[in-house]
Amino acid sequence: MDAVDAVTPDLKKNLYRTMLRIRRIEEKIAVLYPEQEMRCPTHLYIGQEAVAAGVCANLSKGDSVFGTYRAHGLYLSLGGDLNAMMAELYGKRTGCTRGKGGSMQLIAPDEGLLCTSALVGGTIPMAAGAGLAERLRRSDRVAVAVFGDGGTEEGVFHESLNFASLKKLPVVFVCENNFYAVYTHFSQRQCADNIYERAHAYAMPGVRVDGNDALEVYRAMREAVMRARRGAGPSLIECRTYRWLEHVGASSDVTRDPEELDEWIARCPVRTLQHRLVEEGLLSEEDIHRMKAEVDAEIVAAVRFAKESPFPAPEELEAGVYAP
Ligand SMILES: Cc1ncc(C[n+]2csc(CCOP(=O)(O)OP(=O)(O)O)c2C)c(N)n1
Ligand SMILES: [Mg+2]
């Protein structure tokens, strides 16, 4: 089956449901964040949902994923438990890292999300390491690194691409190029707008896709995953997208040109796919209404679970953390 055939009506509907769910959960977090009960720095993903959804829809049990601190979308796309995510944001014992990692260190090991980290670029070599482990085990599993445009400015990006290509490791490197590292635009940080082309320096395929188009992301990822599974080595995918809110926190980003934001809001990944599915007769207004109601009920329950859960006990302070 080729990549086009793989985009079935069910896949499209699932991608839409995943993205809608991420969007509504994050919109709720943005509303609740100013209450100051979530005490961890929180980096929202609103505007970038198509990347996580399109990437994760290609993965299977046993594949591993390594992300950044902006990982709610990855966690949810992989099937991470919503209660455990909300509890983690509230610093509770029932959170996915028992309340010790917060939003920046989400994990869902059973679903394949092995590490997300505040260290820019820090998880890129972990994916190369996981790819090496799978190669040694002779499995057909893949490891995925998801990182920002800022992550490509770290030395480990280059080292990891080189090593993974040299050893033909089953790794997919996914760059979410949202054009900003905190407040600084890409053009003020990098000499050339060519992230995907850097793959060629490391003898692997590199492609650039519209990161607001879940189907485009899906197709590119599918090709890269198939290549990795058949032992042909790694690939790099650059997904061009945009975050709608400030770098960290739930307010708007007052440092950016409002017209630039408006242009990207007009290309909203959730609405774009919704229009397409309605036009194709795959989704009715009633379906959309029902999906929203289902997610909203889930969110209410997860927030209640998080708020009612206990904090970790003082004697648990050093359990499960690296304490030299
Ligand atoms: C090694 C390292 N250097 C610097 C920082 C400070 N820092 C935090 S977020 C960030 C920007 C990263 O931008 P990008 O990789 O594009 O991710 P985005 O926030 O856009 O998703 C920087 C420089 C850090 N956390 N880690
Ligand atoms: Mg960025």
Range of the domain at 21: 9-270+282-311
Q: How many CB atoms lie within 10 A of CB 190?
A: 15
**Residue closest to 51 by CA, chosen among 158, 145, 139, 176:** 176
Give pLDDT tens digits for 262-278: 999 999 999 999 999 99
Within a domain: 195: yes
**Residue closest to 241 by CA, chosen among 176, 194, 188, 174:** 176
E strand or H helix that includes residue 184 = strand 184-185
Structure tokens at 240: 């061009």
Testing ligand 1's pocket by substitution, the residue of 120, 147, 188, 243 carrying the most ligand atoms inside 8 A of its CB is 120
Task: Give the up-direction half-sphere exposure of residue 47: CA atoms within 13 A in the CB hemisphere.
Answer: 24
**pLDDT-derived band of residue 4, with 50, 70 and 90 as boundaries?**
low
Residue 183, ligand 1, Cβ within 6 A: no
Residue identified by tokens 């438990």 is 81
Within a domain: 323: no
Query: Which atom of ligand 1 sits closest to the CA of residue 153?
Result: 15
Amino acid, res. 104: M
Residue 103 has pLDDT above 70, yes or no: yes
Testing ligand 1's pocket by substitution, the residue of 48, 147, 182 carrying the most ligand atoms inside 8 A of its CB is 182
Within a domain: 128: yes
Mean pLDDT across the stretch 47-66? 98
pLDDT of residue 6: 83
Q: How far is the CA of 98 from the centre of ligand 2 (A)?
A: 28
Within a domain: 277: no
Residue 120, ligand 1, Cβ within 6 A: yes
Q: What residues have a C-beta under 5 A from ligand 2, the ion?
A: 148-149, 178, 180
* Secondary structure class of 275 (helix, strand, coil): helix
Mean pLDDT across the stretch 60-66? 98
Within a domain: 318: no
**Residue closest to 92 by CA, chosen among 238, 304, 251:** 304
Give pLDDT tens digits for 189-206: 999 999 999 999 999 999
Within a domain: 52: yes
Q: Which ligand neighbours the alpha carbon of 43 most closely?
A: 1
pLDDT of residue 1: 47
pLDDT of residue 115: 98
**Residue closest to 20 by CA, chosen among 266, 249, 288, 250:** 288
Within a domain: 200: yes
3-class DSSP string for 26-58: HHHHHHHHHHCCCCCCCECCCCCHHHHHHHHCC
Distance CA 237, CA 109 (A): 24
Residue 118, ligand 1, Cβ within 6 A: yes
Q: How many domains, in total, are found in the chain?
A: 1
Residue 51, ligand 1, Cβ within 6 A: no
Within a domain: 276: no
Query: Which atom of ligand 1 sits closest to the CA of residue 151?
Result: 15
Mean pLDDT across the stretch 72-98? 98
Residue 181, ligand 1, Cβ within 6 A: yes
Q: What is the CATH number of the domain that holds 234?
A: 3.40.50.970
Mean pLDDT across the stretch 212-237? 98
* Secondary structure class of 65 (helix, strand, coil): strand
Q: What are the backbone dihedrals phi and psi of residue 245, each rounded to the nearest 5 degrees, phi first?
A: -105, -175
Indicate the average pLDDT of the chain: 97
**pLDDT-derived band of residue 322, with 50, 70 and 90 as boundaries?**
confident
Mean pLDDT across the stretch 147-160? 98
Mean pLDDT across the stretch 228-253? 98
